[in-house]
Amino acid sequence: MRAGEYKIKGDYHKELDKNWKYFPVYIEKVRVISKVLEKFGNAKILDAGCGEGVLVEKYRKKGFNIIGLDLNYSSEHVKNGDIRKMPFEDEEFDLVLCLDVLEHINISDHEKAADELYRVTKTGGLIIFAIPNLSHFASRISFFFTGNFSRTSEIERHIGDRPIKEFISLIESKKLKILKRIGLFPTLPIISLLTIKAPSKSLSAHRMYNKIFPFPNLCFENIITTKKV
């Protein structure tokens, strides 16, 4: 089953366009999350809001106990369902991924989604969020000079776009302890222009900038590892 953007674009995360402006950020996000997943071979894992289930498919082939859930997609390993009301038992999973999902739902529903993520995670288990940051560096500059944010995507796609500190406040309000937070893509002028003009050629520059300017509050994307306590 395909609905929403998958009905229009197809399996675009599986068939990556190297000219896609989010290409380098997506590649780096998958690389970071994959390094974490390799340590959870014996865990029960949920990828909530997984789209086509790129990571689900990859790690099921490796023998991992991982399942995906998405509102607009279903397949052999991806269950159709809503992150705001998930069809799983309480404390069912050792590790839950929520990667670039919250920004796609209304801000008024963020509490419901966070409550559900907390509910299905075992006590002592981990929830890993990947969240775009409306207040990234280039967005702050844009707002200063024009009064407009440089949004992380079209507002129709990212209806729940927020500054990262608001997402952090939401996470902490759910009794989730933040263990680690890293930033991807500090949107400084030169690399931002390079990313727009030549996404695939900017990947090495992204990796360099991520090491030189590892300040999550200024980055386009934050990856936040939390523990249910």
Rounded to whole angstroms, the Cα distance separating 53 from 11 reads 10
**What's the pLDDT score for residue 93?**
98
153 closest CA partner among 136, 165, 170, 166:
136
- State mean pLDDT over 207-225: 94
Residue 59 above 90 pLDDT?
yes
**What's the pLDDT score for residue 189?**
87
Residue 102 above 90 pLDDT?
yes
- Asked if 46 contacts 96 with a C-beta cutoff of 8 angstroms, the reply is yes
pLDDT digits (tens, 9 = 90+) for 61-92: 999 999 999 999 999 999 999 999 999 999 99
- State mean pLDDT over 30-49: 96
Full domain range(s) for residue 191: 4-228
**Model confidence band, residue 190 (pLDDT cutoffs 50, 70, 90):** confident
Number of domains composing the chain: 1
pLDDT digits (tens, 9 = 90+) for 119-156: 999 999 999 999 999 999 999 999 999 999 999 999 99
Rounded to whole angstroms, the Cα distance separating 150 from 4 reads 24
Our CA angle for 207, 208, 213, nearest 5°, is: 105
- Asked if 51 contacts 101 with a C-beta cutoff of 8 angstroms, the reply is no
Rounded to whole angstroms, the Cα distance separating 196 from 190 reads 10
Which CATH number goes with the domain that contains 191? 3.40.50.150
**What's the pLDDT score for residue 167?**
98
